[in-house]
Chains A and B, each alone.
Chain A
Amino acid sequence: MTSRVTKKKLIKVTIDGKTCKGEFGDTILKIARAHNIYIPTMCYLTKVEPIASCRMCVVNVEGVEGMILSCQEKAVDGAVITTNNDEIFKQRQNIMKLYDVNHPLECGVCDKSGECDLQNKTMEFEVSAQSFTTKDRHRPVENWGFISYDPTLCIMCEKCVRVCTEIIGDEALAISAGGYNSTIINTKPNGECSECGECMAVCPVGALVSSDFKYSTNAWELTQIPASCSHCSAVCEMNYEVKQKSISNPTEAIFRVTNNFEFSSLCGAGRFGYDFENSNISKDAQAFSKAQDAFKGAQTIRFSATISNEEALMLQKLKERRGIQLVCDEAYGYQSFLNAFSSITGESLYSSNLGKLSKSRGIIIFGARINDDAPMVKYHINMASKHHRARVAYMHPIEDGSIQNIITQFIKYEVGSEEGAAALLAHTLLDEKKVPKKIRAYLDDLDIGHLSAESNIGEEELSQLKRSLLKKAGFTLVVGADLYNHPKAANIAKLLGIIELYSDFELLLVPPATNALGVALICDLDKEASGFTVGYNAQGDFTLSALGGGDLDMPAMNQQEGTFTSLNKQVVPTNAALPYGGYVLNDIISALGHRSEHTIDYTKQLPTGKGYSTIDFDSLPNYYEITGAEHRGYHLASQVCEKSGFIEPVSALPTYDGIVLYQCNEGNQFSPFTYKTKQLNSLPQLKGSQQFAAISKLKEGERVRFALQDIEYLRVFTIDTSMKGTVAINPTYDMGLSAASVSYYRFFQPKFEIMDGNNE
């Protein structure tokens, strides 16, 4: 597959008398859309392969008999295409007549009314009466958790099935074919799918709607606020849709989240976890003056990485002026990792991004429980798997059942042996590659047998991995949060650095928290807090909290404007969806004498030395073109760094015998902010396998207490039969301000204190 590299041939076609240019291999529809020529479609969704179930997009091509489906037919150079005439109109009108047969006339109450494709096209093709009929049968509404499915409204366009398979990779939805009686069936109805809501977003009619949003308001009553999701580092594009809460309570509330589903996706946290605002806050002058005193007396500011670039810059400037230490536990490990990585590659940033990832033919995931850590990355891996048949190798100590369908090889390594695994990976991927003598000597010196035994990665597994990547092009190595706080993180980063530099692989270092990349680039972080500490969404002697309950309230990310640095190495803007009556960080910084009217005044001051541009916040775009071209903020420019890194020999690998806990927020939970939302109300539990229960002597439903880094966890233990091994999963999302203080290697061995069931 070398077509990726070679430049595509340009072609010219005439559509409705207009000469249009396109690339060889483009469909007629794609070229038409790029030139603003309208072809109606019902089932076409840009981000998936053409579905071709509606046949609305028919066009005439001169010299070709009959009508042609423009969504899947590739344009031929010189073709003369007619997109509309009486015959085509009639054809489309007939399709609409058939779609409308027995479609319930409940537009008056339907959630989709006003933004419904069926409604629009019925009007467009002038279908005012039903002329066909068929016998209907009772098809009750099904409830799938966050989503409810009404089969009578469904037009069987298959969009939902396709996104579930091609984009999300859950493969939960399927079609039960049976002519007029066809329906969509959910094979994982009770929360077994990832509950991303993507099927609901793409549904052109009101068949798939949010159970929570259902009937709460009409689409046209909502005001759309373009924003970026603040739950993880993918920082996806989305719109908050706001309206006054109710007649008796005129304060604004977010009713739902929508996105540009033609081209981009959202995970469940983004779509359903939107109401994390810090509400009913007014200006508390007393607390504000205390906050100023706290900042004046502070030796350390500890903050969470769920922070905008502008706020991070404010804190950094404060550090430069006043010598205050900055501690961001979520980003510190990542910053050190990135620095060590850059010291080998000579570039300040990694080279891959989500776009490249979704076009890769070979993918290795290393050190991340990717489906839970960064769902968006998983979706892109799935796209690569589905659209390009990518080989996907998953390297992790714990098997993950939820991505089993997309991975082609699971390589299990021992907890703690990441350094060995990285060395083995470097040895495998750089084999037969041109590398400098020093590195070749280093690789040759590696005791492969020993590393393989210690890390439990079989040599045959590695050779299988190598074989599977033969004759392919376009590789991505996805690196996750397990490695950033590893005791040997720096050396792992350097080993990965040589993979980036000398192999065909491009690396994607997934930031461990929303703006961890931004904080890592903007702030000069310190490892440990000392003295009087001000905590911003983190634990401290004086706390500023957007979660409520702190010494001074702060706006949550849906009440703030600013920018984030995404894992795509992109600076993307977000806007305030909800009003906020209290003080913001800029007020405190201004009161301390560093005046600035708005937080976003800092946007153009972001450090250019780190790749940022001096662009005003208000000039940052945030939209998609009809062709799918993304215009969101700007891309960071990678900076040239000094190649001063030196790879140390792999030290003795630590062993973790017995039971181990893994810090991981599963499913749609990411942080205390997702936990705060109404719909994402999963119970934080310690989840382990049968084997874990046997070794730890914990019973189902038993309450345990354990501590890590002064943070005490109180958990109910549950046995998850789908899990294997001696590693249990411990979430942190319910830990409030402490959740941002986790800076430890993700695997740890706890001392359990079993609590009496009746004792509180």
Chain B
Amino acid sequence: MSLEEFKNRNVGQQTYKMVQSDPTPKTGKEQFEQVVRRAFKGELFVGLYVTLREMINALFRGEMHTIKYPFEKLPISPRYRAIHDMLRLLESGHYRCIGCGLCEKICISNCIKMDTRYDENQRKEVSEYTINFGRCIFCGYCAEVCPELAIVHGARYETASEQRASFSLFEDMLTPIDALKLQQEYDGFGAISPNADQNIKKTPLAY
């Protein structure tokens, strides 16, 4: 539709289609006939049948559509930015976070804080990590900047709490070690692009 067409508000000149409908009954007799015709046409039973069928399907054939929230939840799009998850490496089970501090730096509402230390294995260990969800605006920058795909937005979207500021610590967000099998790779905000493999330049090796 061109702009000019779009702007034309002269109703009646466009190609509208009128809905076909029965003529309006004029006399009392005609009105009575219309009521009787509509009441005994059998459409009532069609409707009742549909309801009955759905009831039977839901109750006996396992096709219930009602979600018993909060015991059941609808799956959510990976693009949705809910409470963060901290992922683990699938091979070793070690958390992916290397403590680089980029999420802390990029966070525009300044709600991420982390403490790191030099651990016994000469690695940078994240000794404490917290997100203040009272301030978090769920912009997704942290997930996008994370070089290790360690912090992602999960599916936990209920953010109501008794306090204005509710904090999450590292352990709260980290995939439980026994649930490592169930850990999902994240396709949403900040995930690697589908053509990532093609963009990789290999480092030449001398051996």
> Measuring CB to CB, which residues of chain A are less than 8 angstroms from any residue of chain B?
107-109, 113, 128-135, 141, 211, 214-218, 220-221, 246-248
Contact = CB atoms under 8 A, between A and B. Distances in A.
Nearest to B127: A246
A218 B115 contact: no
B78 interface: no
A216 B116 contact: yes
A288 to B, nearest CB: 36
A246 B113 CA distance: 9
A215 B115 contact: no
B118 A216 contact: yes
A109 B97 CA distance: 10
B103 to A, nearest CB: 11
Contacts of B183: none
Contact of A215 (B118, B130, B207): B118
A248 B128 contact: yes
Interface string B116-154: 111000111101111000000000000000011000000
A217 B207 CA distance: 36
Contacts of B204: 130-133
Nearest to B115: A246
B167 to A, nearest CB: 9
B101 interface: yes
A136 to B, nearest CB: 8
B2 interface: no
Contact of B104 (A113, A216, A221, A248): A221
B5 to A, nearest CB: 50
A246 to B, nearest CB: 5
A217 B116 contact: yes
A171 B14 CA distance: 93
A132 B118 CA distance: 32
B136 to A, nearest CB: 16
20 contacts: A108-B99, A109-B98, A109-B100, A109-B123, A113-B100, A128-B201, A132-B204, A133-B204, A135-B206, A135-B207, A141-B122, A211-B118, A214-B118, A217-B116, A218-B101, A221-B104, A221-B105, A246-B128, A247-B114, A247-B128
Contacts of A128: 201
Contacts of B99: 108-109, 215
A215 B116 contact: yes
Contact of B115 (A108, A109, A134, A247): A247
Given A108-B100, A215-B116, A246-B115, 13 more contacts: A108-B98, A133-B204, A133-B206, A134-B206, A135-B206, A135-B207, A214-B118, A215-B125, A218-B100, A218-B104, A220-B105, A247-B128, A247-B129
Given A246-B128, A247-B128, A130 B117 contact: no
A218 B123 CA distance: 15
A220 B100 CA distance: 11
Contacts of B205: 133
B92 interface: no
B203 interface: yes
Interface residue range, chain B: 20 to 34
A247 B100 contact: no
Contacts of A221: 101, 104-105
Interface of A is mostly: loop
Nearest to A150: B122
Interface in B166-207: 201, 203-207
Closest 10 CB pairs of A and B: A108-B100, A109-B124, A215-B124, A218-B101, A133-B204, A215-B118, A135-B206, A129-B201, A133-B206, A130-B203
Contacts of B123: 109
A109 B101 CA distance: 8
A216 B125 CA distance: 9
A315 B192 CA distance: 67
B203 A133 contact: yes
Nearest to B128: A247
Contacts of A131: 204
Given A108-B98, A108-B147, A215-B99, A129 B104 contact: no
B58 to A, nearest CB: 49
A223 to B, nearest CB: 14
Contacts of B114: 247
A211 B122 CA distance: 11
Contact of B113 (A141, A211, A247): A247
Interface in B21-54: none
Given A130-B203, A141-B122, A221-B101, A216 B128 contact: no
A471 to B, nearest CB: 54
Contacts of A214: 118
Contacts of B101: 217-218, 220-221
A129 B118 contact: no
Contacts of A130: 203-204
Contacts of B122: 141
A144 to B, nearest CB: 15
Contacts of A246: 115, 127-128
Contacts of B130: 247
A33 B26 CA distance: 100
A652 B101 CA distance: 69
A510 to B, nearest CB: 38
Nearest to A132: B204
A141 B118 CA distance: 13
A468 to B, nearest CB: 49
B121 to A, nearest CB: 12
Contacts of B127: 246
Interface in B81-110: 98-102, 104-105
A215 B128 contact: no
A211 B104 CA distance: 23
Q: Give the interface centre of A128, A130, A141, A218 by most chain B CB atoms within 10 Å.
A: A218
Nearest to A128: B201
A678 to B, nearest CB: 14
A123 B104 CA distance: 22
A248 B124 CA distance: 19
A221 to B, nearest CB: 7
A246 B116 CA distance: 9
A247 B207 CA distance: 45
Contacts of B128: 246-248
Contacts of B105: 218, 220-221
Q: Give the interface centre of A113, A135, A215 by most chain B CB atoms within 10 Å.
A: A215
A246 B115 CA distance: 6
